[in-house]
Structure 1
């Protein structure tokens, strides 16, 4: 019996059943069931793979590096094979027999796809799709068999995965350590070391500048300012804040400040002391003009500090310069009255402290600011008369120039008060520019600081003592030889008179050495020494000049054989011309010694005079002796044989004594003579003491060298102060007994 055509053997529901098949031979229900099964298989496979992976990781951790690499490569090959099979199975290109026996889950999933379960419970083979060239399934299967399995390419080696939890723990620990360190540091900064750092920060911003006190003025007896201070600027530097190049700035500032750049550059560039401390303030120049300060301010360098200062002005320049002295750059008195009365004139400096910006050097608004005001210095009024001082200086300069003298001094002192009306010295200097001198000897005040053998002007002490002790009467006479020997040395008179009888006026007029030595022998060395001390020799006069010399006075126990001849005539001892002027002032003041003074009074901050102690006074000789001596001391000028006859002044009677002494330099007498003339006027009523002394290396006599200067100074002083001329003619002396 012939087999009927299968295509015609269809049950009534064959079409509807066919419609329920998918194009791949499955019904929709079967496909859905297979898809769910496949998903479950995938999930199970994923779990299996994950478990296997963990097992392999644990094995790999214990194995060596090569075994781990092989195991990883094997896993990649297996994964690649499974992926390839899955793709082929999904596309239907691998028959059920080709599935590997080791994967039962995959076999069941493939069988379900190849042999779908019909509703009747029977299973039949899925017919292959037909095309014009044959079935698709056959071609695909044939191609698959011909091609064989695809080669598996090795995957790149993946990096070893870390442990996130461990990384998190390490990061947390690191953060905690940072937080602990930061907190500890904050506690240290805010609690433990806060004061230290705050102080250090304050010091970096804080600038302290001095506020110089205005120095008091020095006035003459009439209120004229001899020295005073004016407003100026100081230029300083903060090297830490300096922006410009120190060498360049020094080159720009040298012209303005009058200091070489080689001196300025080290100050500008040195930022710390040898001990390591920062230098925040250093003077470059003080007392500069305000215009220069403005010019430097325009440089706009925060490291340059321009502050208020004061500058000393001496309008008379060299007028009484050796008396006034001068100040240094810091405003401290260095010589003369400026040094002696420095604490009174200087006052008390103030101080300004404030915080400065590190950018522009300007004060920080609202920041720390403290100002201690300066206390100005107080004034000093002298006894010097500026007009008389000017005239006396000119006369002294002329005398020194005409006689080729090396130095000299001239004084005018008021009798009775001890006020020094004029004190001139030469050489001198410009007190307004005191450091522009070639020789520092120009600073010396020769009236108080130069000690010389006084020579014959010392004889007035011997005459006063002889009269006071009764060795001779004012009109008495005594035989005087031409020479006298003391200690093996012959002392002789300069005036040739042979063996003669001389009156006391003659001994004084001719300045007889022999007659003076004879009078000293009558007095005795002990008594003569007492008179020397009483007249102020051997001690400074304390007139007010810093560095005043005391001179040398030989006590009796140190006298040698020649001392009996040398001491009475002004040798073997030294004195200043100031001491000799005070001695003659005592004679002119009726025998009362008055301490010389330069300061009339001090002036306080309110401009009121401060009470001064009266000058020290002491009686040395009696008034009668002083009057007699005032008369006798006219003889050297009035008598034709007198040593000072060239000092005779018309309309006035002068009294005085010439002297010729020596200058000791390095323990030896220098060549030449120190010539002098000391006296007072008017002789009948003494008002002023005048003293002139010059050192002439070429030699010369006291009268011939200084007589003219003595006369001119007296003439100007008597006329300047309005002293009436004498109404009686000059006395006539009988010098010969």
Structure 2
């Protein structure tokens, strides 16, 4: 065909395309049906790809959606894909069914569908892989999880929330209604703290108002173990250096934060009476568990002056432990107060919170009869005497005649009352004038002389014949002054301290009378002088006397007394025969110093023991031991004053047996013409010695100072002369 041929040429590729879409053996209608099915598949794939793209965009826009929503969307997408596949399968099946029916109508039989060629002549078909890429790949379905029921979940969550709210509400009701009072009280207890307000202890004054013991401002150091921050062992070491107390004693107090019953310990004393400067140092430690409070410290300015009489205080409450401090502790101590307040975690009081204060009631005063200056001199004289004679202990007293007031009462060994626990032996605490008992020896003979004169066994100027010895039971008693067989006057018996003459006078009296006069003069019972722990001594009733008692008891053996009892005997003679119980207490006073009548305090007991005539006769005769050349107390003679008294040499009983050595004594009064003061000196000398030789000098020196100190006029004339020989 030439180019001028008007009929167009047929493009060979167009035939191939026709064959591609109308394969051999298929009609145009069938080809059109297949082409429509492919178009729908392509449209479905496009929609799926568009949905996937939107899903990716949504996922990128909402990165924070939860996993549950994502899973629901994925499940929905899979569901759409399944429906699409089902729709496609249904359409394909319907098209095949239509083709089959058409063929059957034409031929009257059903022809099997032609096998499709994989490739056509002259054309290249797309590979299966490319066709699969164009259509969405459908993965096999898995078993999907069971979809939850939102309504049921909501009900369950609501029920759970309601239960939790009910439990919380119940607990709130319990805390704020049922147990509110208990919890509030417990919380208050944790905030509350109670600290003591120690009462100021009263003073002990001498007769002139001088303070023998008083209290000054100080600090107490306490601990709240529940709030201690430092380690107890380390804190105890720091405090030990400041308090002067071993760390081994402080550590258990600091470390123990509850009682045996499990109750918390919030206050415990570590030390009382601490100097204010030490209290400031402990405050600087800044440990919240340490408490520094206002307190007082006992001061004894005389240190060992009358320490055995005054005593001392101690313990956590500063109570009296010995002497007058113990005997009048309730009167002196007053009543402690306390302050209770709420404190913060740092230990500071909470402003406006609970606060209650009970004020302390200060203690009262005790004014003694002791004269501090006289006490000082008596104590020095006694200590010199004990040291000079290598004595083990001694005591000395000065009493006022007529009142029984004790102006001085010294003991040695003694101690420093400002440091009462710094002693070598507890014997240093003893008041030997009232707490030590001994056989009085010859100073007891004054009772026999008074009874013999009162009962008429001898006249004041009477005489008695006697030998050098006398035997009672299986014991022979001898006079120390050698006189042989002689006649002695009553003055001579007293001057020479004749054992034989005294025993003969007791024989005249009889055991019953001797015992009766011993009791009348106050032997066998405590004097009530005011010192705690006063001894009573020992008297034997006549029914208990042995064969030797008729000889031993009259001369001061087989009987025990105290120095205070024997001083009261001679005070009775000096007081014209009237016994007055000795006392150390002048009066009691309140905290302001005003005298107070003590309803429980009894008036000193007074009673007549012998007649005035008998007493005055003895006042004269008792000068003989000092004034006469044969007297046992010659070394006690005092220039310008006439002294009266009696020496004695007794024994000390220790654990039921007599200790070695002697208890030497000198008891008397001055001036003899008008007795004002009784002086008694007693010294235990393990090496032995006589009453006059050991105690005579001390008796004289004490009388000399006392008479001069109190302004007693000297005697107008020389001492009397006695006819000691009958």
Instruction: Tell me, yes or no, whether TM beats 0.5.
Output: yes
Cα separation, partners in 2 of 1:531 and 1:78, compared to 1, 3 Å: closer
The 2-side partners of 1:453 and 1:641 are apart by 24
Which residue of 681, 693, 701 corresponds with 2:682? Answer: 693
1:398 aligns with 384
The 1-side partners of 2:607 and 2:548 are apart by 32
**TM-score (norm. length: structure 1):** 0.82
The 2-side partners of 1:475 and 1:142 are apart by 172
Which residue of 441, 450, 457 corresponds with 2:436? Answer: 450
**TM-score (norm. length: structure 2):** 0.84
The 2-side partners of 1:421 and 1:156 are apart by 121
Which residue of 311, 319, 322 corresponds with 1:332? Answer: 319
SS in 2 for 1:692: strand
Shift in Å, 1:355: 1.2
Cα separation, partners in 2 of 1:6 and 1:181, compared to 1, 3 Å: farther
The 2-side partners of 1:528 and 1:365 are apart by 77
**Does structure 1 conserve the Cα–Cα contact (< 8 Å) formed by 2:434 and 2:564?**
yes
Which residue of 647, 650, 654 corresponds with 1:665? Answer: 654
The 2-side partners of 1:226 and 1:623 are apart by 38
1:23 aligns with none
Which residue of 687, 700, 711 corresponds with 1:722? Answer: 711
How many residues are matched? 643
SS in 2 for 1:229: strand
Write the mapping of 1:293-312 to structure 2, written as runs, cut at 5 A: 293-312=279-298
**Does structure 2 conserve the Cα–Cα contact (< 8 Å) formed by 1:354 and 1:369?**
yes
Cα separation, partners in 2 of 1:161 and 1:408, compared to 1, 3 Å: farther
The 2-side partners of 1:644 and 1:318 are apart by 31
Q: CA offsets, 1:37-81, max 9 Å, x none?
A: 999x99xxxxxxxxxxxxxxxxxxxxxxxxxxxxxxxx9999697
The 1-side partners of 2:131 and 2:307 are apart by 133
Shift in Å, 1:258: 0.9
Write the mapping of 1:494-573 to structure 2, written as runs, cut at 5 A: 494-573=480-559
Higher mean C-alpha displacement, 552-561 vs 163-172 = 163-172
Shift in Å, 1:573: 1.1
1:59 aligns with none
Cα separation, partners in 2 of 1:629 and 1:189, compared to 1, 3 Å: same
Off by >6 Å, runs of 4+ in structure 1: 4-7, 75-81, 133-136, 141-151, 155-158
The 2-side partners of 1:635 and 1:520 are apart by 21
**Does structure 2 conserve the Cα–Cα contact (< 8 Å) formed by 1:213 and 1:347?**
yes
**Does structure 1 conserve the Cα–Cα contact (< 8 Å) formed by 2:202 and 2:591?**
no
The 2-side partners of 1:223 and 1:456 are apart by 38
2:605 aligns with 616
Q: CA offsets, 1:68-96, max 9 Å, x none?
A: xxxxxxx999969758869xx9xxxxxxx
Shift in Å, 1:141: 9.0
Write the mapping of 1:384-463 to structure 2, written as runs, cut at 5 A: 384-463=370-449
Cα separation, partners in 2 of 1:298 and 1:501, compared to 1, 3 Å: same
Q: CA offsets, 1:91-126, max 9 Å, x none?
A: xxxxxxxx53xx2499689x9xxxxxxxxxxxxxxx
Cα separation, partners in 2 of 1:502 and 1:146, compared to 1, 3 Å: closer
Which residue of 244, 249, 271 corresponds with 1:258? Answer: 244
Shift in Å, 1:245: 1.2
Check if 1:314 corresponds to 2:303.
no
The 1-side partners of 2:246 and 2:707 are apart by 51
The 2-side partners of 1:147 and 1:324 are apart by 122
Q: CA offsets, 1:553-583, max 9 Å, x none?
A: 1111111111101110111110000000011
1:271 aligns with 257
1:220 aligns with 206
1:350 aligns with 337
2:645 aligns with 656
Q: Any unmatched runs of 5+ in structure 1?
A: 8-25, 43-74, 90-98, 112-132
SS in 1 for 2:339: strand
Q: CA offsets, 1:504-523, max 9 Å, x none?
A: 00000110111000000101
Shift in Å, 1:298: 1.1
Shift in Å, 1:167: 2.8
Q: CA offsets, 1:608-652, max 9 Å, x none?
A: 112365421100000000000000000000011111110000000
The 2-side partners of 1:736 and 1:511 are apart by 14
Shift in Å, 1:679: 0.2
Q: What is the root-mean-square deviation of aligned Cα atoms in Å?
A: 3.2
1:15 aligns with none
